[in-house]
Structure 1
Amino acid sequence: MTEATTDEAAVEASKPALPPVVRIPRVVQAAGFVAARRRTTMALKDKYGNAFTLDLPMFGHTVVISDPTLAKQVFTTSTDVLGNVQPNLSRLLGSGSVFGLEGADHRRRRKLLTPPFHGKSIKNYEAIVVEETLRETATWPEGSEFATLEPMMRITLNIILRAVFGAAGHELDDLRRMMPTWITLGSRLAPFPTPKRDWGQWSPWARIAAHRRHYYDILDTLIARARADPKLADRTDVLALFLQSTYEDGSPMSRTEIGDELLTLLAAGHETTASTLAWACERLSRHPDVLAEMADEALTDVNDLRQAAILEVQRVRTIIDFVGRHVLGEMVEVGPWRIPRGYTILVSILNMHADAEAFPDPDRFDPRRFVDAKVNTLSWMPFGGGTRRCVGAAFANMEMDVVLRTVLREFAIEPTGRAPEKWHARGVAYTPKDGGRITVRRRAAAATG
């Protein structure tokens, strides 16, 4: 090969090579992505394949991929080359949140976040999950259909509040009243760009800011009380652990870091888990054979099918439909593509969960596909992947397992022949459109042991 040929090859390799570009007006792309993201993404995959290029108003030039091999490349690429998607949820949760950190700062924070949500620490929270589930379900109506989404929201919020802040008090009651409104509003605003001008005190962004100020007033009280607690070292709540944690250089977490991180745990550990549980109720009530077997299993210490059902619900009713990265390096190679600096890469979890190669007959709800089968984390990824995989994944899994076990021990869920509930986008998360409606009968005391 001549020197000229070598130079030409080098120049060619330095040029972008993008997946097929979607040839529809930018405004139509934007409308489809905001108003019907799920259907738009699936339709574009059918037309353009496992990788295509969009131009979106918030993310800009964007490559969407739906292939496990390409996704692995994205998740294993250096964080110096691929950073967190921009903009991200830190604009709603605060710059001190793990969502807003990059590189070494992100790794240091995750190291502090990991201990409360793994191993023995999770066992400490199981009793809280049972207590809050029994508290909420005590008022469930018998023989009358009702939506489970809001009850599950209350259960998961109370669980995460107690796990994060410890013992109850009027400050936690205040948070219980405030957080659902705040999280719902934030979730609905998440798909939209932050406005560049001030729209006044009655705008949704002003209401977000007001909630945030109120939250920090409460947090300051809780921090002061925790620091004065002579039994702080014995506490297992996350706030107490954060107050005692230090980075490798010995420095403690700042007030803003603690506040933003706890808010992230509250937001991320509340709506998504509750939505999955509501979908579980919706799916199980339409599959009586699975429901009957799980009900029998719940009366024992076995959780094989229940655990498989949780995995299958997360696959077939994907709550968070994509995860993103931002190209920081001059160029990143993903498969045959060369994607330049400034582009966004979105990994479509939704499309990967619907892939017929990885999951034969993908529209069928079949928990048994996960029984005695190792989960392929390149195809099944409801918690994302790589260094930004959800740090609370193990906690969320335990929570869903214990809530379902407790419900099935206390109630018989009646099967229904109704059509499946439609998908409803609550901004970030997808929920059952009718709220995961079921009808239950309380089991006899003798049956529950």
Structure 2
Amino acid sequence: MTETALKTSEQPASVRAVHLPPGPRVARSLQGIAFALFRRPMTEMLVRRYGPAVTISLPVFGQTVIVADPHLAKQLFTAHTDDVGNIQPNLSRVLGPGSVFALDRAEHRRRRKLLTPPFHGKSIKNYERIFEEETLREATDWPVGQEFPTLEPMMRITLNAILRAVFGADGAHLDELRRIIPPWVTLGSRVATMPSPKRDYGRLSPWGRLAEYRRRYDNVVGRLIDEVRADPGLADRDDVLALLLRSTYEDGTAMSRQDIADELLTLLAAGHETTASTLAWVFERISRHPQVLARLVDEADGDGNEYRQAVILETQRNRTVIDFAGRHVHSPTFEMGEWVVPQGHSIMVSLSQLHQREFADADRFDPERFMGTRPPLAWAAYGGGTRRCVGAVFANVEMDIVLRTVLRHFTLTTTTAPGEKVHSRGVAFTPKRGGRVVLRPKA
């Protein structure tokens, strides 16, 4: 009996033979370079050539299966966490080992239970006033009747909003975080999918600069944690930090100081860039679709938001900001449709391809797709399953309030200019020219 046959005969009956999707045979280094520099067009080309499941080899993630089929994606997202877990490496390299991005299996489930209350129900309702106030505060500096990019103003709005929601107040400490977070997020987004260096290249290297940002952040957040813990009114506070300090796991233990710092950084970093990028795309899209804009303006004068929600969902589909959601195979094999993926492989769902392939006339911007109906299986802007973005509701309400506030106070000029091209900021994809618009205050 051959060695191969012996191994096959020794496999448990429940484990099927590995059966990977087809893929390119070019050198791993070339695949990695192409994926790093041209991730989205490369994925589109591979899916077009090989079908909705493709195997590629990447320097950072290893052997990887890319999925662009909603049913395969659902199988992955709903799989047991003992079978598939957090992709490696992940954003915890930038956000810290206590971040929810770093956790897996039971530890991940425990942490999500603590994080869920601040981002749902009554808590979100309390933040709506903050979203409106921050929008109006930022708008005082917008040029009247002159074209300007909305991306950076949206970054400031969403960062200020999440800072106030997390810490419950404004002040000098938050000013320091406003100086730290934006360049940290920009740099972290660019190095998140790069191999970690094997040696320390000092403070001038990207990783050295990230470490310096982290040192400054820990100093500020450490003082804020001490202040909130010492607050006699801690029990009545509704900010995220206070809620985390009061929360305990089922066994009565609390989050460590370092875990809280890592988790707050995750909320600040991940919670503002993607939301701001989507808002910039919203303004870019509606400025080129007069009928959509007119309907939004009519709705903004009242209390409804059904069409505004449809516009946000369609923007997230038509101009997907985060294009992948990944998992790592823990079990000996993982079955996904006709494919059998072995332990140690990565599986990435291409959200941008789902949003293109599975919708009729996908290039057309049409919010009517989402009127009066739930998003279909192929819509997955926040990922899916147990690792779906914990701040999805917060982000959705924030975008809704910011858009409503702008439309109530400003007139947006439409344009016949071609749509802005997609620009990669590392993790997120934004309008290449920043989502430029012309606004005039309403009388």
Contact 2:326 2:347 in 1 (8 A): yes
Contact 2:135 2:157 in 1 (8 A): yes
User: Is it true that 1:181 corresponds to 2:183 in the alignment?
Assistant: yes
Separation in structure 2 between the aligned mates of residue 333 and residue 14 of structure 1, nearest angstrom = 8
TM-score normalised per structure 2: 0.97
- Which of 216, 219, 224 pairs up with 1:217? 219
Over residues 115-136 of structure 1, what are the superposed CA-to-partner deviations in whole Å (9 max), with x where a residue is unaligned?
Answer: 0000111000000000000000
Q: Which residue is equivalent to 1:71?
A: 73
1:392 to partner: Cα distance: 0.5
Q: Which residue is equivalent to 1:333?
A: 335
Q: Which residue is equivalent to 2:19?
A: 17
User: Is it true that 1:230 corresponds to 2:232 in the alignment?
Assistant: yes
Q: Which residue is equivalent to 2:3?
A: none
Equivalent residue of 2:327, what SS? strand
1:21 to partner: Cα distance: 2.2
Separation in structure 1 between the aligned mates of residue 263 and residue 290 of structure 2, nearest angstrom = 41
Match runs of 1:95-134 below 5 Å: 95-134=97-136
- Which of 135, 153, 157 pairs up with 1:151? 153
Over residues 135-179 of structure 1, what are the superposed CA-to-partner deviations in whole Å (9 max), with x where a residue is unaligned?
Answer: 001111111100000000000000000001111110101001111
Q: Which residue is equivalent to 1:29?
A: 31
Q: Which residue is equivalent to 2:281?
A: 279
Separation in structure 1 between the aligned mates of residue 212 and residue 29 of structure 2, nearest angstrom = 32
- Which of 323, 326, 334 pairs up with 1:324? 326
1:7 to partner: Cα distance: 6.0
Q: Which ranges of structure 1 fall in alignment gaps of 5 or more residues? A: 445-449
Over residues 303-338 of structure 1, what are the superposed CA-to-partner deviations in whole Å (9 max), with x where a residue is unaligned?
Answer: 111110000000000000010000111111111111
Q: Which residue is equivalent to 2:424?
A: 425
Separation in structure 2 between the aligned mates of residue 14 and residue 408 of structure 1, nearest angstrom = 56
Separation in structure 1 between the aligned mates of residue 16 and residue 363 of structure 2, nearest angstrom = 41
Separation in structure 2 between the aligned mates of residue 417 and residue 104 of structure 1, nearest angstrom = 52
Over residues 349-382 of structure 1, what are the superposed CA-to-partner deviations in whole Å (9 max), with x where a residue is unaligned?
Answer: 0100002xx4210010001111112212x21011
Equivalent residue of 1:73, what SS? helix
Match runs of 1:293-372 below 5 Å: 293-355=295-357, 358-372=358-372
Contact 2:15 2:333 in 1 (8 A): no
Equivalent residue of 1:220, what SS? helix
Separation in structure 2 between the aligned mates of residue 9 and residue 214 of structure 1, nearest angstrom = 52
Separation in structure 2 between the aligned mates of residue 209 and residue 383 of structure 1, nearest angstrom = 28
Aligned residue pairs total 437
Equivalent residue of 2:374, what SS? coil
Match runs of 1:234-253 below 5 Å: 234-253=236-255
Separation in structure 1 between the aligned mates of residue 203 and residue 365 of structure 2, nearest angstrom = 46
1:11 to partner: Cα distance: 7.6
User: Is it true that 1:167 corresponds to 2:169 in the alignment?
Assistant: yes
Q: Aligned partner of 1:399: which letter?
A: E
Separation in structure 2 between the aligned mates of residue 40 and residue 353 of structure 1, nearest angstrom = 16
Q: Which residue is equivalent to 1:447?
A: none
Separation in structure 2 between the aligned mates of residue 266 and residue 87 of structure 1, nearest angstrom = 20
Equivalent residue of 1:308, what SS? helix
Q: Compute the RMSD of aligned alpha carbons.
A: 1.5
C-alpha change, 1:231 and 1:32, in structure 2 (3 Å) is: same
Equivalent residue of 1:52, what SS? strand
Q: Aligned partner of 1:30: which letter?
A: G
Separation in structure 2 between the aligned mates of residue 219 and residue 27 of structure 1, nearest angstrom = 40
Identity of aligned residues (%): 61
Q: Which residue is equivalent to 1:44?
A: 46
Q: Which residue is equivalent to 1:86?
A: 88
Separation in structure 2 between the aligned mates of residue 9 and residue 328 of structure 1, nearest angstrom = 16
1:220 to partner: Cα distance: 1.1
Q: Which ranges of structure 2 fall in alignment gaps of 5 or more residues? A: 1-5
Contact 2:23 2:46 in 1 (8 A): no
Contact 2:15 2:332 in 1 (8 A): no
Equivalent residue of 2:360, what SS? coil
C-alpha change, 1:10 and 1:208, in structure 2 (3 Å) is: closer
Q: Aligned partner of 2:378: which letter?
A: S
Separation in structure 2 between the aligned mates of residue 416 and residue 76 of structure 1, nearest angstrom = 43
1:24 to partner: Cα distance: 2.4
Equivalent residue of 2:101, what SS? helix
Q: Which moved more, 1:397-406 or 1:297-306?
A: 297-306
Q: Which residue is equivalent to 2:143?
A: 141
Equivalent residue of 2:114, what SS? helix
Q: Aligned partner of 2:149: which letter?
A: A
Equivalent residue of 1:258, what SS? helix
1:90 to partner: Cα distance: 0.6
